[in-house]
Structure 1
Amino acid sequence: MSRSEFVVGDRGVYLPADDALVVADVHLGRAHASNVEFPLNERRDTLDRLGTLCDRFDPETVVLAGDVLHRFDAVPVPVRESLDAVVAAVRDAGAEPVLVRGNHDRQLDRVASEPVHDAHRLDSGTVVCHGHEEPAVTGDRYVVGHDHPVLEVEGKRHPCLLYGPDAYDGVPVVMLPSFTTLAPGVVVNGMRAGDFDSPLVRRAGGFHPVVRDSDAAETLRFPPLGELRRVL
């Protein structure tokens, strides 16, 4: 398969050429940091959806592409336990977990049982990084998170992957939605390059939104943002 091919899952992407599943912005501890009076079941929800993706793709590697943790400072014991549970679930699925550092992950090295990387280069030449800064590793394609993209259609928000075929130094960029369901997301319909936080978005109009409808088990591919601004 070509290195440019990918398969969209529920808030994640599978890269067949590398037999790798990538998710970004898990933000473990977001529920713990919320001022709510009811349990949000963050750990169970994360594990269930990650397990579903592993069952579907049976990957050799699972890469958590930054902002694995939510809080910048303290990491409460329940959040550490959630991180351990996620790593254990990946291993139980027969995959190798890879942790990539995001801008929220100042404490990740201290609490993680696995090595933490600024970027991870896959065998195909694809580089997985968080996307909050210019990548230190040169790649033939970049898979990132950070901006939490969602597409708004008829007043409803849909987490979306954004695909830019030659978006950064002439190579493709795949931007993932947040894996946590607790993040509201950023509506990308009318956004231009300067509206994105990631420096890997230089020409926003060329990015195609891709939405996975898990209920219908189908993937919806939309025209690039430059065209959607005129119709949505």
Structure 2
Amino acid sequence: MSEFVVGDRAVFLPASGTLVVADLHVGRDEASDVEVPLGERADLRDRLAASLDRFSPAEVVFAGDVLHSFGRASAATETSLNGLTAACRDRGARPVLVAGNHDTMLSSVWDGPVHDEYRLVGKPGDDSGGGGEESEVLVCHGHEDPDGVADCYVVGHDHPTITIEGRRRPCVLYGPGTYRSGDVLMLPAFNRLAPGVEVNGMRTRDFQSPLVTDADALRPLVYDDAADEALRFPPLGKLRRLL
């Protein structure tokens, strides 16, 4: 498994210098039935900037559902997206956009390439920093099976969260060897307005992503901002019996 570091609703892969975020759902606030602005633009930009400052990546991959609306992309949505990509460039990181099932209008507000999947090449270890031979990582949204084969698949789509001691928190799900003999890293939604699904009691059939083939083997990793580290929990199959 490629070495990875769990951040605030994000994953950093040091071998390729890549930060991956998924499910930004830019424009989600416009779809909310509220009169008071929800501050989505500043929240997304500020948290992305914090991750950029922490990891200093060479590139940032937006792993699908970059936009929220299927049918239109407003001027405010375009401005928000431009702010996010500008934050990357200002820090020397190249933004890379991968399409998700929501991104039917992405090309209307982004003049760069839009990838169905994006391949990284790096040296693996594990999430504690081990070493190994060269490994390939494929980033895709996760709403459908990718064309490519890799040692690790980094996806979003299901917006995983977990409830521990009455507190619901976003989590990364790590499934070693669970898809085409490769590992899976499923990221939570980067947009805090996007509703998450509670994975505590979910079975394989409950996930929308076809890359989840064995939910019991998925290990939740929860970022603890106070400690600036990921809290590791047992795989869901075991965790259910403990909760």
TM tier relative to shorter chain:
over 0.9
- What is the alpha-carbon distance in structure 2 between the residues aligned to residue 126 and residue 4 of structure 1? 8
What's the RMSD between the two structures over aligned residues?
0.9
Name 1:6's counterpart in structure 2: 4
Taking structure 2 as the reference length, the TM-score comes to 0.93
2:3 corresponds to which letter in structure 1?
A: E
Name 2:129's counterpart in structure 1: none
2:183 corresponds to which letter in structure 1?
A: P
Query: Any residues of structure 2 matched to 1:32-181 within 5 Å, and which?
Result: 32-124=30-122, 125-181=136-192
Taking structure 1 as the reference length, the TM-score comes to 0.97
Q: CA deviation at 1:216?
A: 3.0
**Which of 180, 186, 199 is equivalent to 2:197?**
186
Number of paired residues?
230
Secondary structure of residue in 2 paired with 1:178: coil
**Which of 15, 18, 24 is equivalent to 2:16?**
18
1:123 corresponds to which letter in structure 2?
A: V
Q: Which runs of 5+ in 1 are unaligned?
A: none
- What is the alpha-carbon distance in structure 1 between the residues aligned to residue 166 and residue 217 of structure 2? 23
- What is the alpha-carbon distance in structure 2 between the residues aligned to residue 113 and residue 96 of structure 1? 14
The Cα offsets for residues 5-57 of structure 1, whole Å up to 9 and x where unpaired, read as: 10000000000111100000000000011111111111100010000000000
Identity %: 58
- What is the alpha-carbon distance in structure 1 between the residues aligned to residue 201 and residue 104 of structure 2? 32
- What is the alpha-carbon distance in structure 2 between the residues aligned to residue 91 and residue 114 of structure 1? 13
On the 8 A contact 1:84/1:113 being kept in 2, the answer is no
Q: CA deviation at 1:4?
A: 2.2
2:223 corresponds to which letter in structure 1?
A: R
- What is the alpha-carbon distance in structure 1 between the residues aligned to residue 64 and residue 79 of structure 2? 18
